[in-house]
Structure 1
Amino acid sequence: MHVLILGGTTEARRLAELLHGTPGLTLTSSLAGRVSGPRLPPGEVRVGGFGGAEGLTGWLREHRVDALIDATHPFAETMSFHAARAAADAHVPLLALRRPGWVPVDGDDWHEAASLADAATLLPALGRRVFLTTGRLGLGAFVGLDELWFVVRSVEPPEAPHPARMEVLLDRGPFTLDGERALLRRHRVDVLVTKDSGGAATAPKLTAAREAGLPVVVVRRPPVPEGVPVAADPETAVRWVHEHLTGR
């Protein structure tokens, strides 16, 4: 029995840890390869793309995959679409593993955006010193906002295009509340931009922004492809694997 995990997230790595060593189970984790020096999960690991949905379909068939788990980042919309199409074409059951999104609480000043471009249109009315935590990709959406200053945090150095007035912080979560408070003070941040990635590793910035009374632009996550079941945590995904493979 062969399970393929489309990974790169904390949840994907935890799922691989829980499944590794299961008798009769072959486990492969696939990483996109966009981050240098990733933390590798246990089991077999492949790095790199498949060549679209067609390439993934061929890989599923060639390697006789019995179950596919899409545990990619909540904003990896293209990969999730390819997974859904490939699973259907190869007749392989598919589960999406998605950490729950963040929910505003009393004291939050959230402004929802449908995309990074939408977020960029909101910023001039909200602040002048922006803490941008949407990763190194998509910074081109903020080009042209020359009256604003950005501090950009990402794991890898961003590439052009990007805002003209920008300072880059290379760092990887999890982040602490004290650290986020200090960052906001040090850079005199007056507005935060984040994707609704969910999870605890990067949530302290939301608490720090709430304490400081800062507005937060939250980019909504894309939906899971229609018809794909969703597990909110690795433990639920493990049960799905065991129930499905036992049933087969």
Structure 2
Amino acid sequence: MIVVFDVGNTNIVLGVYRGKELIDYWRIATDKEKTSDEYSMVIHQFFQYNGLDINDVEDIIISSVVPNIMYSLEHASRKLFNKEPLIVGPGIKTGMNIKYDNPKQVGADRIVNAIAAYEKYGGPLIIVDFGTATTFCAISETGEYLGGTISPGIKISSDALFEKAAKLPRVELVKPGKVICKNTVNSMQAGIIYGYVGLVEYIVNKMKKEIRCSSCRVIATGGLSTLIASETESIDIVDKFLSLEGLNIIYERNKEDRIALNNKSRV
């Protein structure tokens, strides 16, 4: 079994693969204050509850956009699985040509999503990830990472509205069904959700023009992808496990090097 960690600013999504099959996954809050022992205990409980054996874990791969949590996660991996985790970053084999001014600046999460999406759906394509930030990534027909756009996430925008406007309440992110609303809560919900639908449609259409592909597929992922996708025809596919699949693909592309390194360290 291979354990994959997708570490975001809000949540850590943890998956367990046997070959290409995702056999289980869990979502936990990203907590920079948690120690390696606390993470070890939580992960161990997941394994026990789902009847999985820690000793069956062959390797670990981690993608993270939260640098100051990595010390705890890496130590938790060593302590729990007795393995040195593979970290997605410079020097790792991805099989993707990154056409960024500085490829090191591209978030690991965006690369992981791009690799999985191109492997599954081909190119050209656009990936929209509804996470703490909402990211848009463009992939060429030949699998090049062309670049993209980053905007504040839906929840960030909602929280900012509550925190900065004294009389506005915190609202649940659900569709009110209309934009001419009769109360403050529905009015806020309409502005946040339908406003994001408009943002997605505009950026997707502009990206399609820039890559000169009016028919390229648009893949959505992330926690709120279903909510937004249900309101727009700009999104073709919702794929909730894109990041986990991307991590598993990257691991397979680095597997031989990992085995060789482990064998060398035992000599």
TM-score tier by shorter-chain length is 0.3 to 0.5
The structure richer in helix per residue is 2
Q: TM-score if structure 2 supplies the norm length?
A: 0.33
Bigger RCO of structures 1 and 2 (CA < 8 A, at least 6 apart): 1
Q: TM-score if structure 1 supplies the norm length?
A: 0.35
